[in-house]
Amino acid sequence: MELICPAGTPASLEAAVEAGADAIYCGFRDETNARNFPGLNFSREELRKGIAFAHRHGVKVLVAINTFARAGSFELWQAAVDDAAAAGADALILADLATLDYASRRHPDQRLHVSVQAGAANPDAIRFYVEAFGARRVVLPRVLNVMEIATIVRESDCETEVFVFGGLCVMEEGRCSLSSYATGKSPNMNGVCSPASDVAYTERDGRISSTLGGFTINSFGKNELAGYPTLCKGRFATPKGSGYIFEEPVSLDAAVMLPALRDAGVTALKIEGRQRGRAYIAEVVRSFRDILSGLDKGQTASSAGLAAMAEGQTGTVGAYRKSWR
């Protein structure tokens, strides 16, 4: 199985290559990619140099252009596709139908991957992307258990890629409107979930409160671990009590699931975290490279041992062992 690793900066890209990535995914410094955060991402020149560096080390670069094109500004997404192809990207990771259509017509030889943002979670949806646009790989949403993934692999004429470590969405990837509701900006359209410009932290009576777009979404006592300031990880008061409703601050750690994912026929394993620093990239990539090497020798890991890197310093196997539907 290939190890697909994130890079938010050229330094992170080099760190991922040196740590043992098979492929790196990254994006441009604009709203065409779903990690459009301050100080992050690649200029056109940085991408060209990054791809050249990766290729010298036998590593592929996949360019995420995975937001949904805004009406009246499609040229921004077209330019991103053209420039990534010209820079020598090994694949483009796309979600938007119009962008997929443009890329498949304009660059028929360019390998296309379907982003997790497309939410393609069944063989029929995947078949559509393959037949309509020649998609070669689909990044599966984090809603599926291993049995469902095995079924999809069996019934699809397309490679599959699944997340194995990092932040979790609330299983509505590409369709989540929580950030839009609070701030008017979303990962789907603007590339920012809970944009930093709309986040604030305030201290009162020894507690830190986080607000998003003016809404108080969480409050931490001195002894509590923190998570990202997103609505999905906010705490809510309900008639049945107060607490986390959508998701607790935890990170996916599917190291223990790797043998099952391999047996299911998964092609590639993806690490989340383009917004993270190069310390995270180096440590997580190295850890999963070691686990994969061990797997080849018949060894299995109980976890990636990356507690310090995890949101809330807690790991979960997420939906991979889910028994409900």
Partner 1 sequence: MRDPETTELQGLPPRLPQWLARAVAPLPLAPLQPALALMLARISRAYPELYDRLGEHAEKRFGIDPTDLPFAFVLEPKPGRPVVRAVRELPEGLDASIRGPLAGLIGMAEGTFDGDALFFSRVLWVEGDVAAALALRNAIDDARIDFDNILLGGFAPLATRLSDALRKRVRSLPALPGGRAWN
Residues that bind partner 1 (CB under 8 A): 8-12, 15, 37-40, 43, 195-197, 199-203, 208, 220, 222-228, 243-244, 248-250, 253, 275-280, 283, 303, 306-317, 321
Lookup: tokens for 21:
């990535």
Query: In the complex with partner 1, which residue's Cβ is closer, 39 or 108?
Result: 39
CB of 306 to partner 1, least distance (A): 8
DSSP, res 117: G
Nearer to partner 1, 8 or 174 (CB): 8
Rounded to a whole number of angstroms, the minimum distance from the CB of residue 3 to partner 1 is 19
Residue closer to partner 1, measured from CB, 61 or 120: 61
Dist. CA 90–CA 157, nearest whole Å = 20
For the residues of 2-33, what is the DSSP string, one character each? EEEEE-SSHHHHHHHHHHT-SEEEE-BSSTTS
**CB 250, min distance to partner 1, A:** 6
Between 120 and 301, CB nearer to partner 1: 301
| Cα distance between residue 93 and residue 215, in whole Å | 33
Q: CB-based burial of residue 214 (10 Å sphere; 0-12 exposed, 13-18 middle, 19+ buried)? A: exposed
Q: How far is the CB of 208 from partner 1 (least distance, A)?
A: 7
Question: In one letter, which amino acid is 55?
Answer: H
Is 216 strand, coil or helix? strand
Beta carbon of residue 222, minimum distance to partner 1 (angstroms, whole number): 6
Give the 3-state secondary structure of residue 77: helix
Q: How far is the CB of 198 from partner 1 (least distance, A)?
A: 9
- 3-state SS class at 202: strand
Residues facing 271 on adjacent strands: 165
Our CB check for partner 1 shows the closer of 18 and 159 to be: 18
- Residue 116's nearest CA partner among 4, 283, 16 is 4
Determine contact, residues 230/212, Cβ cutoff 8 Å: yes
Residue with smaller CB distance to partner 1, 132 or 196: 196
Residue 289, token pair as written in the block: 């490279």
Which is nearer to partner 1, 178 or 310 (by Cβ)? 310
Residue 139's Cα: distance from chain center in Å?
9
Specify the pairing of strand 199-204 against strand 207-212. Answer: antiparallel
User: What is the closest distance, in whole angstroms, from the C-beta atom of residue 277 to partner 1 in the complex?
Assistant: 4
C-beta of 135 vs 146, nearer to partner 1: 146
The CB-of-74 to partner 1 minimum distance in angstroms stands at 25
Angle at 32 (CA atoms; ends 61, 280), nearest 5 degrees: 50
